[in-house]
Structure 1
Amino acid sequence: MKIINNSNSVIIVLHEIYGINQHMQTVCKKFSIAGYDIICPNLIKLNQPFNYESQEEAYQHFMNNIGFDLAFHQVKQLVIQSKKKYRYVFLLGYSIGATIAWLCSNEDNLCDGIIGYYGSRIRVYMNITPKCPVLLIFPTKEKSFEVKEVVNSLKKMNINVYILNGKHGFSDPFSNNYSAPSFEKSEKLIDNFLRKIK
């Protein structure tokens, strides 16, 4: 998915395990209206996204058929191509997309900034030292790990990291975990973050 406004800045949106669903389309449109060019690669290589009830199937599909290494290399190539055209290249990732963005932050002169929502797998890659500005946003509760422990470790790296009230998916209006107050706070954090870089 691409939306071109002939901007000097592009946001590459990295979706969750579900693929380019209604939520990702809404995110892309919102940042397009703000004037950015948008690229949202289909990392799961399927014509239709998974629905939320198929979470386990979607997760297995990603882990068995794509995985973080392949997704990282695909996104890295996309960023390299985008750098030839744009002055600023930002990555905005959700869940697995946030972890892929985090992996890209480890590369010199690759991204101008990365934003990650609830990248739970970032905890596996804590050896990374970001080479660009990073904004990470976590929910108060995650099933698979203790959020405060990971956030405290990330804060020691001098990273912009926040915990907002809610569960995984709080920024997705199509999710049962949606929290409007936390979503609005996250939007302000992102706007401020992007404004400081440009």
Structure 2
Amino acid sequence: MVTTLVARKSAITDSRWSDIMGSHISLRAKDGFELSAYKAGPEASTYGLVIVQEIFGVNAHIREVADRFANRGYKVVAPAMFDRIERGVDMGYSEEERIKGRAYRGRMTDSTTIADIEAAADALGTSRRGIVGYSLGAYVAWLAATRTRVFQAACGWYGGGMVALKDEKPNCPVLLHFGDQDASVPMADVDALREVRPEVEICVYPGAKHGFGCDARPAGFSPADYDLAQGRTLPFLDRHLG
């Protein structure tokens, strides 16, 4: 399955490859609110991904993640989920920034989050769409899977809070990644989610901590676990979007 994605990349001609370079765009949600987003990938692609940030905004790491998927042939949009609270949030991973990010997250509402995610999906303009979220973004991906019907696949990495929504049935296939040493997501929550939602593919990584897939974090990143999780994510997306 991964080779199919590689083939899409290699099939892009030099004249189209310039479309992959990222840029900032504006989105309009159904309530009229305008938010910014980072967009990358070939315009001609029929496969789209919404990439959803952590609590640190659409920072350099999230833009790099978007670029990685764009380099595989996907058209990608990463919406600025904090724009309704404060525009232009782009933080690093210090403790001070973590506290600020958690405060922003506490002011989000599910209804406006869904509106902004649907605006990002619309901006893709593709026939097949997936959503991939990290930490906060994983919770958002779960909302997108259960409360919208605009995605054909959803993937979440080390997301908390989903256990409170475990009774909501996803409308598309879902893949979730968790580290069993994640202080932010108790394994009891993961087990409860697995019990109620056996149709969801849940992968647990022994010894992995929160943020094990983020190479910009000062602690927690695990190259081996990232490679394994990404090696599962790409075929999952290919299977359901390709």
> TM-score scaled by structure 1?
0.91
Output the CA distance in 2 between the equivalents of 1:16 and 1:69.
18
Per-residue CA deviation, residues 76-116 of structure 1 (Å, 9 max, x unaligned), is: 3332x247x21111001011111111011114632100010
3-state SS, counterpart of residue 146 of structure 2: coil
Which of 163, 173, 187 pairs up with 1:133? 173
Output the CA distance in 2 between the equivalents of 1:142 and 1:73.
30
Output the CA distance in 2 between the equivalents of 1:108 and 1:143.
30
Aligned AA (1:151):
V
Which of 193, 196, 218 pairs up with 1:154? 193
Aligned to 1:193: 236
Output the CA distance in 1 between the equivalents of 2:133 and 2:178.
12
Structure with greater Cα Rg? 2
- How far the C-alpha of 1:118 sits from its partner, in A, is 0.8
User: What is the root-mean-square deviation in Å for CA atoms of aligned residues?
Assistant: 1.7
Aligned AA (1:68):
D
Aligned AA (2:77):
I
Whether the 8 Å contact between 1:95 and 1:119 is mirrored in structure 2 is yes
Cα distance change on mapping 1:25 and 1:89 into 2, 3 Å: same
After superposition, where does 1:1-150 map in structure 2 within 5 Å?
1-5=38-42, 6-45=44-83, 46-53=87-94, 54-64=97-107, 66-79=108-121, 81-82=122-123, 85-107=125-147, 109-147=149-187, 149-150=188-189
Output the CA distance in 1 between the equivalents of 2:123 and 2:170.
20
- How far the C-alpha of 1:128 sits from its partner, in A, is 1.2
Cα distance change on mapping 1:82 and 1:119 into 2, 3 Å: same
Aligned to 1:170: 212
Whether the 8 Å contact between 2:77 and 2:123 is mirrored in structure 1 is no
Output the CA distance in 2 between the equivalents of 1:10 and 1:151.
28
3-state SS, counterpart of residue 141 of structure 1: coil
Output the CA distance in 1 between the equivalents of 2:184 and 2:48.
32
| Structure 1 residue ranges without an equivalent (≥5) | none
Whether the 8 Å contact between 2:48 and 2:126 is mirrored in structure 1 is yes
Output the CA distance in 2 between the equivalents of 1:184 and 1:160.
17
Per-residue CA deviation, residues 158-186 of structure 1 (Å, 9 max, x unaligned), is: 21111113111000111111000000001
Indicate the percent of aligned positions where both proteins have the same amino acid.
21
| Structure 2 residue ranges without an equivalent (≥5) | 1-37
3-state SS, counterpart of residue 132 of structure 2: strand
3-state SS, counterpart of residue 67 of structure 2: helix
